[in-house]
Amino acid sequence: MLNEEQNEQELFEHFRFDVDPGQKLIRIDKFLFGKIENISRNRIQNAAKAGNILVNGKAVKSSYKVKPADVISIVMSQPPREYEVIPQDIPINIIYEDEDIIVVNKEAGMVVHPGYNNYEGTLVNALRYHIDQQYPNHGPEIEANLVHRIDKNTSGILLVAKNELAQAKLGKQFFDHSIERKYIALVWGDFQEDKGRIEGHIGRSLKDRLQMTVFPDGEYGKHAVTHYKVIERLGYVSVVECQLETGRTHQIRAHMRYIGHPLFNDATYGGDKILKGTTFTKYKQFVQNCFKLLPRQALHAKSLGFIHPTTGEKMFFDSDLPQDMQSVIEKWRDYAAHREV
């Protein structure tokens, strides 16, 4: 039996096999090569080197002989791209780089990777140019390999692997939920509690394919957990810190709308309307001015912690809020300080 999971936000694939009782002894790399479509032996080898092939819960080498009734689990990095990436000289903010990884502080408005009708101007195009400048005439062993992504209009820290082995090891950390990720969001409304936990399956909306929806009964979608803490109460809006336990597409945006606190100016999830406050014309104008200052959802990927795929060192990167979010939060602070809200 094969259970396959493809995570849309954390770019890995997970396969699980319950080996038949009549299975003959065979090397596990050969077994997997015959079971998984469109896979190369190199991807299987890198998964084994990264400790991502488990048999009955224990990591094995690619030479392991599969036995009847074994339970096999394999986590692999994102499949190779089926299109050519055009190198483009686009400014990006690289805050750390070594032989294995690149850490970028992405600006809002930049798409992370090429896709349908969007093959240029992305972060991956910029990284490809950057790597070409560093390593002229390099081969496919050095590349910008994504292990996760953030939305186009979300700013903040993004981790990139420069080779397949590093990508495989980092992908396993995302799969194990051992990556530490914190986001800062400005959301509509005040909270009764100071912190909380949101749990609810997230899947693509059955009514609007551009939205993700929470399915609390788990009948659809994938398991998702977000922890949040209120950082600052500003009357009609609040600044919250969100920590991801899982990494589903639009997770924070969908979870926050689910509990009645859509992200400020999140057009996809209804946050681009005046959801809290007064009916005064001056207040409406104030909110509209805030929307103009921050023409996107108020979400920033502030920090990222992980284990370096080669050295085993604990790495942690933090970033300041971008100017657009800082400016709008300051305006709400001033509004809350001078008015009864």
- Kindly report, residue by residue over 41-54, the tens digit of the pLDDT: 888 998 999 999 99
Q: What is the pLDDT of residues 140-194, one digit of tens each?
A: 788 899 999 999 999 999 999 999 999 999 999 998 889 999 999 999 999 999 9
151: annotated active-site residue: yes
Out of 110-124, 158-172, 234-248, 307-321, least confident range: 110-124
Percent over 90 (pLDDT), the chain: 73
Q: From the DSSP assignment, how many helices (H) and strands (E) are in the chain?
A: 7, 19
Q: How confident is the model at residue 9 (pLDDT cuts 50, 70, 90)?
A: low
Identify the three-state secondary structure at position 31.
helix
Lowest-confidence pick of 9-23, 276-290, 306-320: 9-23
How far, in Å, are 16, 51, 64, 67, 285 from residue 55 at the CA level? 10, 11, 9, 10, 61
Average pLDDT over residues 299-310: 97
| Distance spanning both ends of the chain, measured CA to CA | 58
Confidence check: pLDDT of 5 > 70: no
Q: Show the tokens assigned to 43.
A: 């991807």
- Mean pLDDT calculated for residue range 207-230: 91
Q: Which residues pair with 314 in a beta bridge?
A: 307
Average predicted confidence (pLDDT) for the chain = 91
* Position 60 pLDDT exceeds 50: yes
Indicate the DSSP class of residue 102.
E
pLDDT of residue 80: 57
- Predicted TM-score (pTM) of the model is 0.88
From the list 29, 70, 100, 151, the catalytic residue is 151
Given a cut of 70, is residue 238 above it in pLDDT? yes
Count of C-beta atoms within a 10 Å radius of residue 73? 17
- CB-based burial, 206-226: b 16+ in 10 Å, e otherwise: eeeeebbbbbeeeeebbebbb
Q: Stretch 255-269: mean pLDDT, rounded?
A: 97
Confidence of residue 215 (pLDDT cuts 50, 70, 90): very high
pLDDT of 2: 47
Q: What is the mean pLDDT of residues 115-136?
A: 89
Question: What is the per-residue pLDDT for 260?
Answer: 97
